[in-house]
């Protein structure tokens, strides 16, 4: 059997085309699988979401818009749409965790400021270091400010 030059060139071309096609088909297959996996994840996956918004309370006399100044996590909603509410009735409760954390952080900053203020007042007035009675339960704050005053007195 005799193979001419044209047939040999066509065979090389066909081999290269099959290789290119197999590479392209792999890419298409991988992309298809990726989209399939993403679709399954989107269908069954669960996302936490946070929503904010304004609420409206429509009393019989006039309309008022309610808006929380500080957002939070809703712990309990005590009324439903269409319920009538009384004056001063609690309609929702927020989770106090974030607020309690903010209060604790602010109290710690306040106590640290008191300790620092007592030390600075003693330095400026050239008086012995005296901390307010509010700091008696916080020896770590007193211990943090005392070495600075002692170092200043040593100079």
pLDDT in tens, 35-78: 999 999 888 887 776 667 776 656 666 666 666 666 677 888 88
The reply to whether 89 falls in a domain is no
- Looking at every residue in the chain, the average pLDDT score rounds to 79
The total number of structural domains in the chain stands at 2
Residue with tokens 């106090």: 96
Regarding beta strands 55-57 and 92-94, do their DSSP bridges make them parallel or antiparallel, or are they unpaired? unpaired
Instruction: Tell me the longest C-alpha to C-alpha distance in the chain.
Output: 115
What does the block give as tokens for 122? 């003693």
The reply to whether 134 falls in a domain is yes
The reply to whether 1 falls in a domain is no
Q: pTM of the prediction?
A: 0.44
Alpha-carbon span 128 to 12, nearest angstrom: 97
Q: What is the pLDDT of residue 54?
A: 72
The reply to whether 131 falls in a domain is yes
Alpha-carbon span 29 to 80, nearest angstrom: 50
Tell me if 85 sits within 8 A of 66, measured CB to CB: no
The reply to whether 75 falls in a domain is no
The reply to whether 29 falls in a domain is yes
The reply to whether 32 falls in a domain is yes
Alpha-carbon span 123 to 129, nearest angstrom: 8
Model pLDDT for residues 101-126, shown as the tens digit of each residue: 888 899 999 999 999 999 889 888 88
Residues 6+ positions from 55 with CB-CB distance below 8 Å: 65, 66, 67
b/e per residue, 86-120, with b = 16+ CB within 10 A?
eeeeeeeeeeeeeeeeeeeeeeeeebbebbeebbe
The reply to whether 129 falls in a domain is yes
What stretches of 38-89 adopt beta strand conformation (E)? 55-57, 64-66, 74-77
Residue ranges making up the domain that contains 147: 106-154
Alpha-carbon span 146 to 22, nearest angstrom: 77
């Amino acid at each position: 059997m005799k193979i001419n030059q044209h047939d040999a060139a066509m065979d090389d071309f066909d081999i290269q085309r099959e290789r290119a096609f197999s590479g392209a088909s792999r890419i298409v297959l991988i992309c298809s699988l990726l989209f399939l996996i993403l679709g399954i994840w989107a269908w069954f996956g669960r996302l936490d979401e946070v929503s904010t918004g304004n609420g409206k309370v429509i009393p019989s006399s006039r309309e008022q818009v309610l808006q929380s100044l500080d957002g939070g996590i809703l712990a309990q909603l005590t009324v439903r749409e269409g319920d009538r509410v009384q004056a001063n009735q609690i309609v929702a409760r927020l989770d106090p965790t974030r607020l309690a954390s903010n209060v604790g952080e602010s109290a710690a900053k306040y106590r640290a400021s008191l300790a620092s203020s007592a030390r600075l007042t003693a330095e400026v007035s050239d008086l012995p270091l005296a901390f307010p009675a509010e700091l008696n339960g916080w020896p770590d704050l007193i211990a943090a400010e005392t070495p600075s005053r002692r170092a200043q007195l040593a100079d």
